[in-house]
Amino acid sequence: MKVTFLGTCAGVPAKHRNVSSLALHLENKKNTTWLFDCGEATQHQILYTSIKLRKIEKIFITHLHGDHIFGLPGLLGSRSFQGAESTLTIYGPTGLKDFVDTALKVSGTYLKYPLEMIEHDEEGTLFHDSNWRVKTAPLIHGLPCYGYRIEQKDLPGPLLMDKVHEYGIPEGPILKQLKNGERVQLANGTVVNGEDFIGPPKKGKVVAVLGDTRYSENAIKLAKGADTLIHEATFAAGEENLAKEYFHSTTLQAADIAQKAGANQLILNHISSRYQKDESENLASQAKRVFSNTYIAEDLSHFQI
């Protein structure tokens, strides 16, 4: 997996930051993309990336403040104009469906693809299939707001080629049978069990994408052992009172969450427009005092999970 940040600013856009949205690339055979939040001009930001609207299968909305949802109607319409026919599923708090339905109806926007809206208002598992699981839990903000934990299920172990060569097994269809764990009879009559030629499973990746929030115990739970934690850092260290008043977090509070959760990597997001571009490194340095493996997101930056 990798993530592309489409907008990293809090509240209103700045010259160097658009409002909230990020894309999670699953890097599977279909090159599937999931969006998290869709602030104003998200589709404009996508034009500067390799993201294809028709490849977006799911959109997860953290909460209904405008800087996180005002880009939805335009993006939904453009996805239709570009010929998408596959279902798009949108997850978010209660009230999201009314917003989307009203915007599409009033603007006369007709979608040529099925749109599925799933509203949620409590902690739990939102989605799972053979490869992925998405969990959610409420955070602490001025409106109902949620964080998301995306878990990739463990991947099959690799074929142990040293053992394959030891048994003199030739390349070809037989290797696929072994990879599938099947029992196979070799040319010399020996029967081998494919499961004996497969290494241990590869642990799946975990990424936590959190919405706007004060310091929250649920944030720690969602980020537990995550490979990557994406946490808002609207305010700099020393602005804790201001962060609390506006239901946000500071750089140090985000770092504290990452440390307590045992995350591997912290990416600071949702930065106030009061901070100029040349202040980014200072904001990251504040968090690094608590959690060394910290980075700050910039618009159109990429991070590997």
**Residue 173 main-chain phi, psi, to 5 deg:** -60, -25
Structural contact between residues 265 and 227, judged by C-beta atoms closer than 8 angstroms = yes
Q: Give 131's DSSP letter.
A: S
Whole-angstrom Cα distance, residue 277 to residue 273?
9
CA separation for the pair 89, 23 (Å, rounded): 15
* 67 part of the active site: yes
Distance CA 269, CA 235 (A): 10
DSSP annotation of 250 reads: B
Distances, alpha carbon 160 to alpha carbons 76, 167, 189, 267, 291, in Å = 46, 11, 21, 36, 37
Residue 80: phi, psi to the nearest 5?
Answer: -70, -45
Q: Is the dihedral of CA 226, 145, 87, 34 positive or negative?
A: negative
- CA atoms of 126 and 274, how far apart (whole Å): 35
Catalytic residue among 37, 67, 212, 256: 67
Torsion, CA 147, CA 62, CA 101, CA 94, rounded to 10? 60
Residue 274's SS3 state is: coil
Please say whether the beta carbons of 123 and 138 come within 8 A. Answer: yes
**Which CA distances in Å does 138 have to 43, 58, 84, 233?**
27, 20, 32, 18
Active-site residue set: 67
